[in-house]
Amino acid sequence: MIVVHHLNNSRSQRILWLLEELGLDYEIKKYQRDPKTMLAPPELKAVHPLGKSPVISDDGLVVAESGAIVEYLTGRYGNGRLVPAVGTPERLRYTYFLHFAEGSAMSPLLMKLVFDKVENGPMPFFAKPIARAIARKVKDSFVLPNIRSQLDFLEAELGKSTWFAGEEFSAADIQMSFALEAAASRGGLGSQYPKLSAFLQRIHARPAYARALERGGKYDYA
C-alpha cells in the first residue's frame, strides 16, 4: 500500500492530487507544522532523515523529493498516463517543467518568504532598521526581479500550449502547481498574468484536485 506522509499546507498536496488523478489506492499519515516555526514535527525524520514532506513509502521503499515521487508513481503505476511519450517535444517540455518547479521556481519564492519574515518579524528595536534595510535591498535587487522574470516566462510558455508540456494535461502541471499557488498567495498574480491565473482556475476545477483536497485537509493555497 502506498502511504503518503503528508504535512499540512505543503507540497505533499501535489502527491495526493497525482494519486487521485491516477486513481490509485493510498493511505495518508498526517503531520502538523509547528504553528510558531512552521517546521515539520520531528516524527517525520523517522521516515526520512531530512524530515521534509512529501515522502512516501511503498512496498518497503521510501521515496522523498516531489519530482522523484512523481517519477516513481507515474513510472510504476501510470501505464503511460500523465507522461508524454519518450522522444516527443512534449516529453522534453515535460522533463523541463518537472525539474523547473523545484529546481528554479521555488528558490526565489522561498527567499521572499524568508526575507519577508526578516523585514516584518519581531527583533530587538536597535536591530530592526538594519535588518529591514538589508531585507528590502535583497528583495528589491534579487528576489522580486527573479520572481517577476520567472512569472513572465511561465505566462509566455502557457501562451504556446494549454498545459505546460503541450495540449495534454500531464504530471508536470501537477508539479508546477505548488509554485504558482505559492506565487499567487505570496504576492498575487495580478492582471498581468491571465494565463497563469486561468491555469490555477483550471486545475482547481479538476475533480481529482477536489478529492485530494478533501482527503488532505486544510490547504491554504487553493
Which residues on neighbouring strands pair with residue 63, listed in sequence order?
56
Q: Which is nearer to ligand GSH, 10 or 170 (CB)?
A: 10
Q: Which of 208, 184, 216, 183 is nearest to 54 (CA)?
A: 216
Report, in Å, the least distance between residue 43 CB and ligand GSH: 11
Report, in Å, the least distance between residue 141 CB and ligand GSH: 25
Q: Which is nearer to ligand GSH, 67 or 187 (CB)?
A: 67
Report, in Å, the least distance between residue 200 CB and ligand GSH: 17
Report, in Å, the least distance between residue 146 CB and ligand GSH: 17
Is the Cβ–Cβ distance between 212 and 17 less than 8 Å? yes
56 Rama class: left (phi>0) / alpha (psi -120 to 50) / beta = beta
Q: Which is nearer to ligand GSH, 105 or 154 (CB)?
A: 105
Distance CA 65, CA 106 (A): 13
Using CB under 6 A as the criterion, which residues of the chain lie in contact with ligand GSH when the complex forms?
7, 10-11, 39-40, 52-54, 65-66, 102
Report, in Å, the least distance between residue 208 CB and ligand GSH: 20
Q: Which is nearer to ligand GSH, 54 or 84 (CB)?
A: 54
Q: Which is nearer to ligand GSH, 40 or 83 (CB)?
A: 40
β-strand 55-58 against 2-7: which pairing, if any?
antiparallel
Is the Cβ–Cβ distance between 6 and 29 less than 8 Å? yes
Q: What is the grid cell recorded at 22? A: 491516477
